Amino acid sequence: MGEVPMKKEEIVSIEEAIAMSATEVEKNYRQNINPNFVTLLKLLGLNKKFIRAEGTKVWDDEGKEYIDFLGAYGALNLGHNHLEIIEALKKISNLPNLLQTTINPITTALAKNLSIITPGDLKYSFFCNSGAEAVEGALKLAKIATGKSGIIYCKGSFHGKSMGALSVTGRDKYKKYFGPLVPFGIEVPYGDQYQLEKAMIDGKDNIAAFIIEPIQGEAGIITPPAGYLKKVKELCNKYNILMIADEVQTGLGRTGNWFACQEEEVVPDILCMAKALGGGIMPIGAYIANETTWKRGYGTIDKCLLHTSTFGGNTWACTAGLATIEVINKEGLHCRAKEKGDYFLNQLNQLKKDYPLLKDVRGKGLMIGIEFAEINLPIINKFVSLDQKIILEEYVGGMIASQLSNEYQIITAYTLNNPNVIRVEPPLTITIKEIDYFVESLEKILKQNKKFGGMAKETIKNVFSSFRRQREA
């Protein structure tokens, strides 16, 4: 058989990709990735082309400087393009990156450091490429270590969109099209120790683990009642169930400790991490388990390779992980995150007293959720379809994020499970001056939208802009 001929278009080079105009970028995204996501971004006025990034700042193709208060959903604890991470990668650029027939010293060093900074007796690490993969591995370890199948998880939780992680994610919107999912999942309310214990009793001898986020990220930055995590661990011990802490967003200093569960001196049986571990440069995920759990699962030669990852533990990713831990430790960024977060939350709570549109402020350290009241803008009904109206009413957080970006050059975004909440997860290197600027800018928006008129005007402008760009594309 002959070769299949290539399509007529020329292959795009790196140089050409860098030089693309915003219009070309949007066209390619519409035609080759996800056209409806472009529509949503444009509807909310969040589409930009950024051409440079450093620390807490990014610059668009018009030369405007923005402060990044989103931090890639908690992946940029050290900010953009941190020089020490880049310099560390240069040191290992000649080493083998992928070589499965030997033991990699960089990988073992990172595993050793994780055993030092994680709580209690956590010891054995498995490396992968993302938070979802870390969760998948943790769920598998729990099942093989206990010989049980059931997993308890929380309503509103988000653990990833791969099949196992999705099965223990607590929002039906992401699950309903992909059934049947992994069976024997049990959903309980977040923060309710009594419903959790009931589920453990009802599950009898089939519950392998309870997986929990110390702070629910995508649910809208939801913090549990004080003492809840400690009670969770006590219940897991009582009913011989493993506790899995999903610290993909909360880990590596985000909430004021290396890991959020350390605030209550809780030691889970398995702890998942990712995002910030790569220093904002490399994709890397991991879970770490105590010796007993690990050996029950994979502690024999015939079982030690039942769960593997081709790119997991590669030299470049683990070097970024080593450098990230070194920078956080050297600069005390995890401790400073608590101080800055307390200051930030206090400032935001002052605004809450004066502006009813600001419904709630919550979080710990530099993981903060700002929830806005739902709005109804009758004037928009004249210009949009019913589906678009529903989107606009649901995505109040997105509209606020749009104004922060377009008027004040501040980057934020809404949370997946509650779009009326914008998340604030800036680099841990954010300054008090930058925090003050955020609060001042948000107050100006709240004043402008006291009767929602400013938001209506901005939204209609974005709607028409979106429709015009769609026709042009």
Distance CA 197, CA 299 (A): 30
Q: What are the residue numbers of the active site?
A: 158, 246, 275
3-state secondary structure the chain: CCCCCCCCCCCCCHHHHHCCCHHHHHHHHHHHCCHHHHHHHHHCCCCCCEEEEEECEEEECCCCEEEECCHHHHCCCCCECCHHHHHHHHHCCCCCCCCCCCCCHHHHHHHHHHHHHCCCCEEEEEEECCHHHHHHHHHHHHHHHHCCCEEEEECCCCCCCCHHHHHCCCCHHHCCCCCCCCCCEEEECCCCHHHHHHHHHHCCCCEEEEEECCCECCCCCECCCCCHHHHHHHHHHHCCCEEEEECCCCCCCCCCCCCHHHHHCCCCCEEEECHHHHCCCCCCEEEEEEHHHHHHHHCCCCCCCCCCCCCCCCHHHHHHHHHHHHHHHHHCHHHHHHHHHHHHHHHHHHHHCCCCCEEEEEEECCEEEEEECCCCCHHHHHCCCHHHHHHHHHCHHHHHHHHHHHHHCEECEEECCEEEEEEECCCCCCCHHHHHHHHHHHHHHHHHCCCCHHHHHHHHHHHHHHHHHHHHC
Distance CA 434, CA 277 (A): 24
What are the angstrom distances between the C-alpha of 239 and each of 54, 206, 208, 234? 49, 11, 10, 9
Distance CA 26, CA 473 (A): 8
Could you report the per-residue pLDDT of 177-190, keeping only the tens digit for each?
999 999 999 999 99
**In terms of C-beta density within 10 A (0-12 exposed, 13-18 middle, 19 or more buried), how is residue 206 classed?**
middle
Burial 268-288 (b: 16+ CB within 10 A, else e): bbbbbbbbbbbbbbbbbbbbb
- Span of 77-91, 112-126, 398-412 with lowest mean pLDDT: 398-412
Looking at per-residue pLDDT, the higher value among 32 and 7 belongs to 32
3-state secondary structure 166-205: HHCCCCHHHCCCCCCCCCCEEEECCCCHHHHHHHHHHCCC
Q: Which residues pair with 362 in a beta bridge?
A: 369
Is 225 a residue whose pLDDT tops 70?
Answer: yes
Give me the CATH code for the 84-331 domain, please. 3.40.640.10
Token pair of 265, please? 């001196």
Residue 317 pLDDT? 98
Is 466 a residue whose pLDDT tops 50?
Answer: no
Of residues 372, 365, 366, the one with CA closest to residue 70: 366
Distance CA 248, CA 72 (A): 12
Distance CA 156, CA 165 (A): 13
Name the one residue in this structure whose structure tokens are 């530099």: 366
Could you report the per-residue pLDDT of 40-82, keeping only the tens digit for each?
777 666 678 899 999 999 999 999 999 999 999 999 999 999 9
Domain boundaries, the chain: 84-331
Question: Phi, psi (5° rounding) for residue 24?
Answer: -65, -40
Q: Which residues pair with 150 in a beta bridge?
A: 207
- 459 within 8 A of 392, measured Cβ to Cβ: yes
CB atoms within 10 A of CB 13: 9
Is the dihedral angle over the CA atoms 151, 154, 156, 157 positive or is it negative?
A: negative
Helix axes 228-238, 193-202, angle to 10 degrees: 20
**367, amino acid identity:** M
Token pair of 170, please? 């607590």
Q: pTM score, two decimals? A: 0.91
Residues sharing a CB contact under 8 Å with residue 161, sequence separation 6 or more, in sequence order:
132, 169, 174
- Span of 135-139, 266-270, 394-398 with lowest mean pLDDT: 394-398
Residue 472 pLDDT? 47
Tell me what the pLDDT averaged over the chain comes to.
Answer: 91
Q: Model confidence at 448, in pLDDT bands (50, 70, 90)?
A: confident
Q: Model confidence at 374, in pLDDT bands (50, 70, 90)?
A: confident
Residue 470 pLDDT? 42
Beta strand 413-415 pairing with 418-424: antiparallel
Structure-derived torsion over alpha carbons of residues 157, 163, 165, 168, reported in degrees to the nearest 10: 50
Q: Model confidence at 380, in pLDDT bands (50, 70, 90)?
A: low
